[in-house]
Amino acid sequence: MGDKLTYMAIEDLDAYAEKYRKALLEALEEKKDERGVSYSEIEDYVGLDRSTLHRYLSGKRDIPWTRLAAICAAIGVSLPEVMREVEKRLG
């Protein structure tokens, strides 16, 4: 993957980042549903209000890495597990 990014034109980086974000959000949603975790449970675990969590998981706001790791923990998956799923989705 690193080589792919090294030779990617700057204008293509935005498109790649958007695909990555979409794959990440889809993976989080899938893992959440697989484990039967509610949004309320994630909010309580991470300490977020509903609107902030919604902005993160709808892609309206970037998720800071520390929050992403906490959201993964709330769902019951590791951050590396989610990132592997993202990479699979991107091919």
H or E segment and range at residue 24: helix 10-35
**Number of C-beta neighbours around residue 24 at 10 A:** 20
Which residues make Cβ contacts (< 8 Å) with residue 16, sequence separation at least 6? 5, 8
Q: Could you list the pLDDT tens digit for every one of the 91 residues in the chain?
A: 455 556 667 778 888 889 999 999 999 999 999 999 999 999 999 999 999 999 999 999 999 999 999 999 999 999 999 999 999 998 8
Predicted TM-score of the model (pTM): 0.84
CA distance 27 to 47: 21
Nearest-angstrom CA–CA distance, 47 and 24: 21
